[in-house]
Amino acid sequence: MADTRAPAMWRGAAAAGSLQRGALHAVALAGWRRYGLAALLGALAAAALPPVDLTPVLLVSFGGLAWLADGNRNGRQAFALGWSFGAGYFVAGLYWIGVALTVDWAQFWWLFPIAEIAIPAGLAIFTGLALWLSDLAARQLRLSGTGRACALAVSWALLEYLRGHVFTGFPWNLVGYAWSGGFPGSTAMLQIASVVGIYGLSFLTVLAAILPSRLGAPAGARLTPAMAALVLIAAMGGFGAWRLAAHPRSDLPGVTLRLVQPSIPQTLFNDPQALVADFHRLLGLTLAPGFDKVSAVIWAESMGPPLLARDPDARAALAQAAPPGGLVIAGTLRSDSPPAPMVHYWNSLAVVDRNGRIVATYDKHHLVPFGEYVPFRRILPINKITPGTVDFSAGPGPRTLDLPNLPPVSPLICYEAIFPEQVVEPGTRPQWLLNITNDAWYGFTSGPFQHFAISRLRAVEQGLPLARDGNNGISAMIDPLGRVVARLGLDDVGVLDAPLPRALPPTLYARFGDAGFVVLLLVGLIAAAGATVLERRGGRAR
């Protein structure tokens, strides 16, 4: 029989209001009902992210999680609760990973359960540890109700940071990205990331979502934490509104980029019989009216001919896409420069001028495990998901490319845009970011919308404009405050001619990285201790 005894702190709440009764019911849940509700709340939290953009549901999902956490009786229950919440969150938020496998279903069908179940289950370990850590702090420090809420926000943000760094990192769908979609006023809320980055934004978002749950406390401090959440949201929004007003859009004179989005289906992308047709499709779009007025043409990830250094005919063909006096920047496959034998291969970007000369190259340095290389290759006899049996090699790291007649640029190939600390070469600040990608793998799912939202936040953090070009997905020009200047939607076919916005001076995040996030965590711990002291002094210890 399930143990439905509520902790002593909640006894006597039966006659309280509806919020108190709901909290008491959540605390008293046990067994599969408790963990099933946690999973549903986690799935609900995913609806705050693009493309659904229902950011206010975080109040329900994290508020409910806080109520359930008040019913933990030991660390094992706390971990299981956090794991269940995370499993629901990641299953709902990352289902699109399995869609990529359907491009070559005959070869990769057996990976589908891993993508849809094992990956979310593994990522949920981080949320399980977050709940375990906050429960440990609450017990060891005897935190009050508001103190526990602060501790949960701190531990959640800390484990998000670890998720973004351990085992090569996977900082996808951090809670702070709930402000990077289409919810009204979200652009203002994003601006605090210029100070504390995405991890700091996640901490503030989770804290603001959890504090109102204290309205369900049976007695004592109920209104103060909720008011603190309102003040926090108002402060973030006010800072963002001021920053947006202080920096009206300003474009660099004489620099216009043409972003080409052909939306070639992934099933045809690597079909040898379709390569020539695909190239002509790209070239036809590129040469549309206005071609002679742009400074550079951008082709997406892997859209340029491969092995340009070894194939003068391929360079001459690509050079047709370079405007007069300008450049074409295209994703391509690169191998060892001749006369060396072709041993290594890079997912690369090449810059080619009108004469077919390779002006610069950049090699992707943060590769996708199993997508571009197979970890533990010696013991895992499987192929990577992208075509070819040879793993890609990693480039040396972020680079700033100095290009003729263009401001210095930092390229980001696909997945690299999700790593906030790896978008700029240390000591060499560019004037814009360029993200080329191919989201055709994922069809009309949430994946391309999430990828766009994640990329958008890199512009805010760094104070740099970002040009984003995809074969399919969302291509756009984004200014250094995250405002979308122009865009092509998912499945659109066409070109986007956009002036390049002017960069801002380095932001605090650009100067100091995650130092602001660390300060926020310390403030959160101090707040947990301070709230506990105040509530005890007022006779309201939890």
For residue 209, the tally of other CB atoms under 10 A from its CB is: 29
Q: Are 286 and 310 in contact (CB under 8 A)?
A: no
Q: Decide: 208 and 229 in contact? Cβ < 8 Å.
A: yes
Look at residue 334 and tell me if it is in a domain.
Answer: yes
Question: 178 and 228 share a domain?
Answer: yes
> For residues 412 and 349, what is the distance between their CA atoms, to the nearest angstrom?
9
Mapped onto helix, strand or coil, the DSSP state of residue 411 is strand
Rounded CA-CA distance 336/229 in Å is 55
DSSP-derived 3-state class of residue 312: helix
Kindly state whether residue 396 falls inside one of the protein's structural domains: yes
Residues 242 and 263 in one domain: no
Residues 259 and 233 reside in one and the same domain: no
Range of the domain at 22: 8-246+514-537
Tell me, yes or no, whether 241 and 255 share the same domain.
no
Catalytic residues: 301, 364, 414
CA 394 to chain CA mean position, Å: 21
Q: Per residue of the chain (542 residues), what is the pLDDT tens digit?
A: 344 434 444 444 443 478 888 888 888 888 999 999 999 999 999 999 999 999 999 999 999 999 999 999 999 999 999 999 999 999 999 999 998 888 888 788 888 899 899 999 999 999 999 999 999 999 999 999 999 999 999 999 999 999 999 989 999 999 999 999 999 999 999 999 999 999 999 999 999 999 999 998 876 557 899 999 999 999 999 999 999 999 999 999 999 999 999 999 887 766 777 788 889 999 999 999 999 999 999 999 989 999 999 999 999 999 999 999 999 999 999 999 888 888 899 999 999 999 999 999 999 999 988 888 888 777 777 777 777 768 889 999 999 999 999 999 999 999 999 999 999 999 999 999 999 999 988 888 999 999 999 999 999 999 999 999 999 989 999 999 999 999 999 999 999 999 999 999 999 999 999 999 999 999 999 999 999 998 888 764 44
The answer to whether residues 138 and 268 belong to one domain is no
Whether 542 is covered by a domain: the verdict is no
Task: Output the furthest CA–CA distance in the chain (Å, rounded).
Answer: 83
Same domain? 262 vs 119: no
Number of domains in the chain: 2
Provide the whole-model pTM.
0.93
Instruction: Please tell me the distance from the alpha carbon of residue 538 to that of residue 542, in angstroms, as a whole number.
Output: 11
Both 412 and 450 in a single domain? yes
Strands 358-363 and 345-353: antiparallel
Structure tokens at 350: 């090449």
Pair 138, 112 in one domain? yes
